[in-house]
Amino acid sequence: MIRFLMRRAATSALVLLGVMLATFLLARVVPASPAVAYIGPKAQPEDIARVERELGLDQPLHIQFWNYLTDMLTGDWGDSIGTKQPVLGEIGERLPATFELLAVAMAAAVLVGVVLGVVAARRKHTKLDHLIRLLSIGGVSMPAFWLGLLLQVVFVRALGLLPPTGRLGPDTPFTYPITELTGLYTVDALLTGNTAALGDAVLHLILPAATLAAYPAGVVARMTRATMIEMLAQDHVRTARAYGLSERTVTWRVALRGALPPVTTVFGLTLAYSLTGTFFVEVVFNWPGLGQFAAQALLNVDYPAIMGVTVLGAVGYVLVNLVVDVVQARLDPRVGLA
């Protein structure tokens, strides 16, 4: 395990370096001046030149990249051009909102996807199976921003059941303020016994979490169905039935255990994909997380913010794949950590 982690740490460092270099170069080829975005549209040439010197944009690219790399390793991720605040602080302030949304969405995706996949495999080629497959394909195919708008039209405008945007209602911060402990509103409200704010936070989570969970739930359901159909035909499953085990035990304990490793791999990939998929969802639902920060950074040609969010996403992607490899090895003894 130690040798495996050391090898993965070395390769991950190379991957992160490559991502940083590619992002750095791509951000510099955009035909827009961050100095103009920093000062404003009425900036004078001498002011632009002064800001470029202050930001180090007048230096050669390789020197800019080296300075940025050394500063990032020491914890200085630069100052955002848009907010004039340290990028690391901006990310830390918005990360809990994104993490809360992502955690709820992924938990729902795993639960719904696995259950639907198992039911579809048990009812293969029936109307229920066809319906589940249709829903899975729809969840995978629909763009997140379109699905989010559709859910808002149905559940907000037509039915009036759920709030449209934000993490809390406009009155909740004043009538039932949340004491922030972790930055996760549902957790903080639960820990402090603030039931009114907890209910409001849960209601605001439903639509964005459902939108974000649609794609991974569809992928997990399709993979679970395929692997469960294969596992239910294996000899050891037939043997379990011959020993008199109930069909529920055979399905949910024997067959599902063998079907989980490939499902885990697919879920890890969709989880890593959802790290960036949150951006569209946050913009549609006005969710104050990293997605809004990244979108605004792109509009402002905010190099430090773009680099910071990209590096954070790359770190998350690497960590997710590492966890998936370890979990796979634990679920299936035939899988080695090489």
Question: Sorting pLDDT into bands at 50, 70 and 90, what band is 336?
Answer: low
- Helical segments of the chain, H only: 2-28, 34-39, 45-55, 61-73, 87-122, 127-141, 144-151, 172-175, 185-191, 195-232, 235-242, 247-249, 256-284, 290-299, 303-331
Burial of 181 (0-12, 13-18, 19+ CB in 10 A): exposed
Tell me the average pLDDT across 97-125. Answer: 92
Which structural domains are found in the chain, ordered by start? 93-283 (1.10.3720)
pLDDT for the residue numbered 38: 64
Residue 138 has pLDDT above 80, yes or no: yes
Residue pair 277/144 in contact by the 8 Å Cβ criterion: yes
Of residues 239 and 78, more confidently modeled: 239
What is the model's pLDDT at position 36? 64
pLDDT in tens, 297-307: 877 777 788 88
Q: Which two tokens stand for residue 20?
A: 């940083």
Average pLDDT along the chain: 84
> Residues 260-293: pLDDT tens digits?
888 888 888 787 777 777 888 888 999 988 888 8
Q: What is the pLDDT of residues 192-231, one digit of tens each?
A: 999 999 999 999 999 999 999 999 999 999 999 999 999 8
CA dihedral (255, 261, 267, 271) positive or negative: positive
pLDDT tens-digit readout, 49-77: 777 777 677 778 788 888 888 888 888 88
Please give the structure tokens belonging to residue 223.
Answer: 């993979």
* Prediction pTM value: 0.82
